Amino acid sequence: MSTIAPGSPPSSPVISLENFHFEYAEADVIIRSSDSYEFRVLKIYISHSSPVLRDQVAAISFPQWQSGVNISAGTSLPVVQLFDSGAVLFSLLTYIFPVPPVLPSTVEHTIELLSAAQRYRMDAILTHVRNHIAQQEPPFIREENSFLVFSLARNRGLNQEALRAARSSLKLPTFTIDVLEERLQLISCASLYALWRYRQKFQQNLESLLPDFVASSGRKTLKGSGRSGCTGPAASGIPGWLDRYISLIGRTPSHFSLSMFYAALRNHVRSSSNVIRDRCHHCATIDIPALWAALSAMYDDSVSEVRESDSI
């Protein structure tokens, strides 16, 4: 039974991040973590936030031998035992109750927080947590932790995070065992294979989009720098340097950057076939912003074509 008087709002909880303390003076239930942290909170918030936890809280009215429910020693408050750590439950409670939300300090705990929200079917809270993560700077998912995030998220069924991590891994310069040696300690064999399949699917998509790029967006932006005027045109009909650059992106997606694009164009314009008098003046007149926008659209289409169900 809640100790809150009818019509009176509850007091603010006493919380402390240092020792994962979260307590309401009017608490009517204790949430206990797997590492024995106890959070004295209000049933109504817990029940409204999750249908899964609502059932567990409702089970408190049944005999004490019922699984997951007991009475805490030295108090009359019932206890709901959960299998999440204190760090994860503390963060989760800050998204349930009217207090400033607190994200965990580690990648592992952040993934566990997302997993807990998904497991307890807290749809609104899961969206809130993801929006909060999206505002972080530097980004939560980035090249250096993409393997770890992918493995953790995939193992917990967090498809959105796994897909973002897979896309971030495209920025890695190579995908060979000798270069990835340190990262291999962070990922299971099954997850590594799934990531490799994702990369293969991306490369296939990029190659399949090249003909459309040549026939439409790319040709419109080249302004006569193709077979009719550019030295060294490729069989595809676009300048050889551009054809080689696109092929390079397919093999090594990390080369997709404006700086690498400019480097490829600059080298071609300066010395085509290493003969100064054959410099390509046609390519010097290319509408660079339009061409880069077309290339970016092609790259983004290739990335977006790979869905979770395809390879993750």
Q: What is the pTM of this model?
A: 0.78
Describe the strand order of the beta sheet including 14-16 as a list of residue ranges: 14-16, 21-23, 38-41, 29-32, 78-81, 69-71
- Which residue numbers in the chain have pLDDT < 50? 1-6, 63, 65-69, 224-228, 274-279
**Which string of b and e fits 55-78 if b means at least 16 CB within 10 Å?**
ebbeebeeeeeeeebbeeeeeeeb
pLDDT of residue 277: 42
Residue 61's pLDDT is: 55
- Given this model, what pLDDT does residue 60 score? 77
Pick the CATH number of 14-128 from 3.30.710.10, 3.30.300.30, 3.20.20.70, 3.40.50.300: 3.30.710.10
Q: For residue 21, which phi and psi values (nearest 5 degrees)? A: -95, 130
pLDDT at 225: 46
For CATH 3.30.710.10, the residue range(s) in the chain are 14-128
